[in-house]
A and B are shown apart, each in its own frame.
Chain A
Amino acid sequence: MEEKHTQWEPRIVAFLCNWCSYAGADLAGTSRLQYPPNTRTIRVPCAGRVNPLFIIRALMHGADGVLVSGCHPGDCHYLEGNYLARRRFALLKRLLEYLGIEEERVQFAWVSASEGGKFAQVVAEVTESVRALGPAQRLVRARDQEGAL
């Protein structure tokens, strides 16, 4: 048990906007910045594409944390996708907290294509805060607890 716990690494699903954060992640890589290898990236056309159900489903099926990252306000490729997403996420975040799910499990960021450094830093911070919480226990579908993501 002890050994199992020391081996545990947080699994974080990162929904990254194609136009900014995904490119920001690319820049972090081409700039050879180091950041924790704990994220599994899913590229989405816009933060506004992220249905709250995507986030919850990731948690149900074995993610210990979820990061959603999109364009800074005013920078959306589709003009207002991130603004609409911000309203939705504000409600979701409060609702999950209310249900008793640790606040740090689901996090949000604005990272532009030129912010490779910020991307690396966000991933590092998110990973450490999820690591501090330990493996996700809540909202996890019973049968999937041992499954890999």
Chain B
Amino acid sequence: MTDLSQAVRDAARRLLSDGLVDVVIGFEAGTLPLRSSPCFVRHAGEVERLVWNMSCENNLAKYLPRCSERVGVIAKGCDTRSIVGLLGEGRIERERVHIVGVPCQGMLDRRRIEGELAGREALDMQEGKGEVILHGDGFEIALEKERYLHASCRACRFRNPVIYDTLIGDPVAEGVAADEYAAVREFEAMPRGERWRFFEAQASKCIRCYACRNACPLCYCTECFAASTEPRWLNPSTDATDALVFQIMRVMHTAGRCVDCGACERACPVGLDLRLLTKKVEKDVEELFHYKAGLDVHERMPLSTFSPDDPGDFIR
């Protein structure tokens, strides 16, 4: 157990026993290593369930708009940026949420680690300094942490919470991704036909499970356009065009709001490169409207405001 786990439990215990919140949303150990899962703790006596490690990858801001109680939420850098967005959109009331900020070192990419295990099953994970050690039946393997982080964590420049009521642990050095849009730029430079074939192939893998949408803290609509039957924008099929249009509209709806937490990509069961789309829009929003999401509660969302001087050279 890490010191941070203990600090998370102490913070949760205090919030619950002082009656400051009705529920604390955090992570508990999953049934498998590398798979911590979100959990809801309602009594001070249950705080021992809570853990903090490098597989706390869900964005817990997701649960806040639907909670009507007073909530304590354990939030890493990206979660706090999502909370800033939700506060700005009036989806959560500030006084109802107690944010327990945890500086984050990045979360481990389970799929890449599984690639290293070559079919063997890890039964236990321990975090050492700069490395993670996995034990299984008759093997032990040590992996360098930095190399096995999620792509979104490697590109992250906001590892420390941007808003919090309680901060636990010591602030970490901020990430200094050389160019967070490197993959997008590389893709933009490809010929048009190749780009189309890539996305067509991606879309044909999509099974329209909507896990990406369900993991996203921004997708809080009570009825999603993808589920609408009147009008029926999309057919309930696995047709590649429908799948691609779903993704296009998903990124249009999160344009200027996405904080690149990477929750959608991690949730995807077929491993689509969803960040290649979300990151493109994030880059365009930054270039066109000079806006970075999730940093200022009072700033208007870029698509709900305008400037008379916005670029318009594409219009006849």
Contacts and interface: CB of A to CB of B under 8 A. Distances in A.
A73 interface: yes
A141 B277 CA distance: 21
B288 A91 contact: yes
Interface of B: 187-188, 192-200, 225, 233, 235, 239-242, 244-245, 248-249, 251-252, 255, 277, 280-281, 284-285, 288-289, 302-308, 310-312, 314-316
Contacts of A90: 284, 288, 310-312, 314
A99 B199 contact: yes
A114 interface: no
B74 to A, nearest CB: 33
A94 B287 CA distance: 12
Contacts of B315: 86, 89, 108-110
| Binding site secondary structure of chain A | helix
Contacts of A73: 308, 312
A138 B196 contact: yes
A57 interface: yes
Nearest to B244: A139
A141 B239 contact: yes
Contact of B284 (A95, A109, A110, A140): A95
A139 B200 CA distance: 9
A147 interface: no
Contacts of A141: 235, 239, 241-242
Interface of A: 52-53, 56-57, 60, 73-74, 80, 83-84, 86-102, 107-110, 122, 125, 138-143
Contacts of B277: 95
Nearest to A52: B252
The 9 closest A-B pairs by CB, nearest first: A100-B196, A100-B195, A83-B306, A109-B316, A108-B315, A141-B241, A100-B192, A94-B284, A52-B252
Nearest to A80: B306
A93 B199 contact: no
Contacts of B252: 52-53, 88, 91-92, 95
B195 A87 contact: no
A51 to B, nearest CB: 9
B303 A84 contact: yes
A141 B244 CA distance: 10
18 contacts: A53-B252, A56-B245, A73-B312, A87-B288, A87-B303, A88-B303, A90-B288, A91-B252, A95-B252, A95-B281, A96-B248, A97-B192, A99-B196, A99-B244, A100-B197, A108-B316, A138-B196, A141-B241
Contacts of A110: 315-316
A122 B316 contact: yes
A36 to B, nearest CB: 15
Given A60-B245, A107-B316, A95 B199 contact: no
A98 B240 CA distance: 17
Given A91-B252, A100-B196, 4 more contacts: A53-B233, A60-B241, A84-B306, A95-B281
Contacts of A52: 248-249, 252
A108 B310 CA distance: 15
Contacts of B242: 141
